[in-house]
Amino acid sequence: MAELNNASRDAGPEKKRKTSLAEFAQQVRAETAKIVWPTREETVRTAIFVFIFMLILSIFFLGIDSLFGVIVQAAIGLLK
């Protein structure tokens, strides 16, 4: 029973040492160096794709909204 108590006490969360400001800044620089930034061509291509997709979705939702508008107007007209 004593072994169980010691084992459960040892399995608790370990205390982590605090990172100094200089060490943190060094870690940030190291992680920033790992970033792969997109090229200008990739950025322009992605922006064009987003714009085209936005136009397609806008037209789709305009059609759906118009269809529901006609349905509601017809339903209101039938109720009068």
- For the stretch 8-30, pLDDT in tens is 555 556 778 888 999 999 999 99
Residues contacting residue 27 through CB under 8 Å, at least 6 positions apart: 19
The domains of the chain are located at 39-80
* pLDDT given at position 31: 94
- Does the pLDDT of residue 78 top 80, yes or no? no
Full-model pTM: 0.54
